[in-house]
Structure 1
Amino acid sequence: MTEYEWTDPDTFASVLERVETREKGHFFEDFEEGETIEHDPGLRLTRWGNELWTSQTLNHDPFYWRADAARERGQEETPIHPDYLLAATLGCTVEDLSEKGGYFLGRTNVQFPTDPVAPGIDLRVESEVLETTRSNSRPEYGIVTWHTRGYDADTDRTLCAYERTNMIPRREPTEGLETDGGRADSSDNVSGSDGSDSSDEPDDQRTLPETFVIPEGTAFEDFEAALERAPDRDTAVAYRHERGRTMDDLTVAGLPLATLNTAKQHHNVDVMADSPSGDIVTYGDVTRSTALGHARSDEQTLREVRFTDERFHTFVTPGDTVYCFTRVLETSRETTTANERAGTVHFEHVAFNQHDEPVYSGRRTAEIATRDASN
């Protein structure tokens, strides 16, 4: 038998042309409605991972950093930030659900039923396949919706839950029998538009308010008072946040890999060179958390309650800068906890880049400290 010099460049190039690739991830045909997928391995939620995530996304609430601030809110130690918990929960699912690539079409019903979560918990994640549908506009893809839950592995307590929808590559392209709503192009962790046509709306619904009001402070009463100063459709409580964060090697590649997010879109420059983005792209939860970090710097957040209608509109690549715009929708004196020193605020947030293009949007419900609690 002839012995080859396997590392000879010409020989090795010939070998690579002939061998098969052992692929990762799953195709659309692999998912069956009703099945439950246990994601292995899970991830230990550490203080190091929490501080890495929150520091690099500018989420600097001392509650998640300093023991004295945590004790003031009734916690013995600094807890895990919900943004890091959510990103870790999704990251653990990527190898099983979306590593093949595909367009992130949206996420909703994000909930944190047992906030706060202590560091040192082992995260166990599972997903249920809620729906699989064909795509008319893109026969090379199908559409899958999962309901994902993150648990405390020791107690089975639910820490985080959400629903997300992705386009997933098919093994064999086929002409779909059902429409996907005409969603536009995008990339993994970046969703396209919802296919709606604003020109179908009445003219008065597409008219922007004449006046924009900004809260005068960061406490719950300031958001409440701002809405009282905007009683009709010609006035809105809306503003942009000054801070921006330029995406770099750590935020684009380092943070997703630290959450076990193995999607090549975030770390394989070679593969992504021929993609529509032309480069690796930022993990959607990094974009989202960075924008929310900007927003939270202008409020006294006590607890995240839920997120709905989250969408990622276009690519964020290394060198892009993420800013944030906020609209205050509603306030309530009722809270999900027996906390008399907080009120509930409903926000809409839009992250945008240096070209003023929206890159993320979502609706958020949070408990904001009242003025006596924030003093």
Structure 2
Amino acid sequence: MKTNAGRFFEDYRLGETIVHAVPRTVSGGERALYHALYPARHALYSSDEFARACGLPAAPVDDLVAFHLVFGKTVPDISLNAVANLGYAEGRWLKPVFPGDTLRSESTVIGLKENSNGKSGVVYVRTRGLNQQGEAVLDYVRWVMVRKRDEAAPAPEANVPALSKAVPAADLVVPEGLDFSRYDFTLAGEPHRWGDYDIGERIDHVDGVTIEESEHMLATRLWQNTAKVHFDATNRPDGKRLIYGGHVISMARALSFNGLANAQMIVALNAGAHANPCFAGDTVRAWSEVLDKAETSAPGVGALRLRLVAVKHGAEPFGLRDEAGKYQPGVLLDLDYWALVPR
């Protein structure tokens, strides 16, 4: 047998490290396609000159480009037979990624727990994205529900890792040289700085985008994400292709520009949940809540901890959970992250 059907739940072993195949050299095409797929307009990623004025050698690729590339490498080994990608934690962007960098990924299994139905289980992995020098550019934990090949296969001893609720502000990595002391608010598109945001403030990002089947398929191919639920319409009983959760993350992040244009760099992913499935034809809107604020040692740079919520059109304004604590049906994404903002 030369073909590979992918791993099933019983194929994982606690503590094993999986080196994922096919490194990817980043080009300017990544940026162009990303900005074609999403209404992404943050100035630091759009202009080399703006980035140089902020102390960087050039404009990096968007932080979520790096995330999607690193994530996509893991799919054949981690989530090819996934029922659903369930959540994220302890994510940190450690170095900016520039065109010309080559990224690869490796994951360590840090937790396993079979579901009570005996048909699937949850696999917890810590993934690192590495550049051509072997330097880590990204590190995060995610957990995935994966089908069993044989329902009669014995369950492993349950081991659920203890994960931090948030990356401490002191552990945020500010890119070397970043300096917002001469930040050009006019060119960035909004006047709002770190001090203008209050903890507890909520921002309606106003705009919406209807998800297209063709764009979703292009995105999954671009990131080489081969999960069957995104490609194969026969893989789900409803005959629908599930929209890749990262597509929703990037769409919501791009929509957040309206109100958070100066939240330039994502530096940590505290938590994330794909609350409900998204399908072609759904119109995505977004809102944010300021959860925390922190100073950094970099000149002119502050950090905001933000909750980014993507919802279907028609969802309750600023609605999140019902009285029982479950996500409301119109909520697609609940993402908790840190971003760097000019002070």
TM bucket (normalised to shorter chain) is 0.7 to 0.9
Q: Pick the aligned partner of 1:362 from 312, 335, 338.
A: 335
* CA-to-aligned-CA distance 1:221-253 (integer Å, 9 cap, x gap): 210xx44xxxxxxxx411321111111134311
Structure 2 residue runs of 5 or longer lacking an equivalent are 161-189, 316-329
How do residues 103-252 of structure 1 correspond to structure 2 at under 5 angstroms? 103-114=84-95, 116-136=96-116, 138-152=117-131, 154-174=132-152, 218-223=192-197, 226-227=198-199, 236-252=200-216
Corresponding residue number in structure 1 for 2:299:
340
Superposition TM-score, scaled by structure 1 size: 0.74
Pair 1:257–1:248, CA change in 2 (3 A): same
Q: CA deviation at 1:331?
A: 1.7
Corresponding residue number in structure 2 for 1:306:
268
Residue identity opposite 1:39 in structure 2: H
Pair 1:180–1:102, CA change in 2 (3 A): farther
Equivalent residues of 1:239, 1:326 under 8 A apart? yes
Pair 1:340–1:22, CA change in 2 (3 A): closer
Equivalent residues of 1:27, 1:169 under 8 A apart? yes
What CA distance in whole angstroms lies between the structure 2 residues aligned with 1:55 and 1:222?
31
What CA distance in whole angstroms lies between the structure 2 residues aligned with 1:176 and 1:36?
20
Matched, 1:328 2:290: yes
Higher RCO, Cα 8 Å, sep 6+? 2
How do residues 240-279 of structure 1 correspond to structure 2 at under 5 angstroms? 240-269=204-233, 271-272=234-235, 274-276=236-238, 278-279=239-240
What CA distance in whole angstroms lies between the structure 2 residues aligned with 1:158 and 1:170?
32
Matched, 1:290 2:269: no
* CA-to-aligned-CA distance 1:283-337 (integer Å, 9 cap, x gap): 11110111111113322123222111200011111111111111112222x22xx
Tell me the secondary structure at the aligned position of residue 19 of structure 2. Answer: strand
Corresponding residue number in structure 2 for 1:14:
none
Q: Pick the aligned partner of 1:30 from 2, 7, 11.
A: 11
What CA distance in whole angstroms lies between the structure 1 residues aligned with 2:82 and 2:293?
39
Structure 1 stretches of at least 4 aligned residues deviating more than 4 Å after TM superposition: 20-23, 174-181
Pair 1:98–1:240, CA change in 2 (3 A): same
Equivalent residues of 2:103, 2:129 under 8 A apart? yes
Tell me the secondary structure at the aligned position of residue 253 of structure 1. Answer: helix
Tell me the secondary structure at the aligned position of residue 290 of structure 2. Answer: strand
Superposition TM-score, scaled by structure 2 size: 0.81
Tell me the secondary structure at the aligned position of residue 173 of structure 1. Answer: coil
Percent sequence identity over aligned pairs: 23
What CA distance in whole angstroms lies between the structure 2 residues aligned with 1:111 and 1:58?
24
Residue identity opposite 1:42 in structure 2: P
Corresponding residue number in structure 2 for 1:84:
65
Equivalent residues of 2:86, 2:142 under 8 A apart? yes
What CA distance in whole angstroms lies between the structure 2 residues aligned with 1:314 and 1:37?
29
Q: CA deviation at 1:179?
A: 8.1
Larger radius of gyration: 1
Residue identity opposite 2:256 in structure 1: A
Residue identity opposite 1:139 in structure 2: G
Q: CA deviation at 1:124?
A: 1.2
Structure 1 residue runs of 5 or longer lacking an equivalent are 1-19, 182-215, 228-235, 371-375
What CA distance in whole angstroms lies between the structure 2 residues aligned with 1:217 and 1:72?
17
Q: CA deviation at 1:178?
A: 7.7
Residue identity opposite 1:155 in structure 2: Q
What CA distance in whole angstroms lies between the structure 2 residues aligned with 1:21 and 1:93?
20
Q: Pick the aligned partner of 1:73 from 31, 50, 54.
A: 54
Equivalent residues of 1:255, 1:286 under 8 A apart? yes
Corresponding residue number in structure 2 for 1:195:
none
What CA distance in whole angstroms lies between the structure 2 residues aligned with 1:294 and 1:120?
28
Equivalent residues of 1:94, 1:262 under 8 A apart? yes
Pair 1:245–1:179, CA change in 2 (3 A): farther
Residue identity opposite 1:127 in structure 2: S
Q: CA deviation at 1:148?
A: 0.4
Pair 1:32–1:178, CA change in 2 (3 A): closer
Q: CA deviation at 1:62?
A: 2.4
Pair 1:180–1:217, CA change in 2 (3 A): farther
Q: CA deviation at 1:176?
A: 6.0
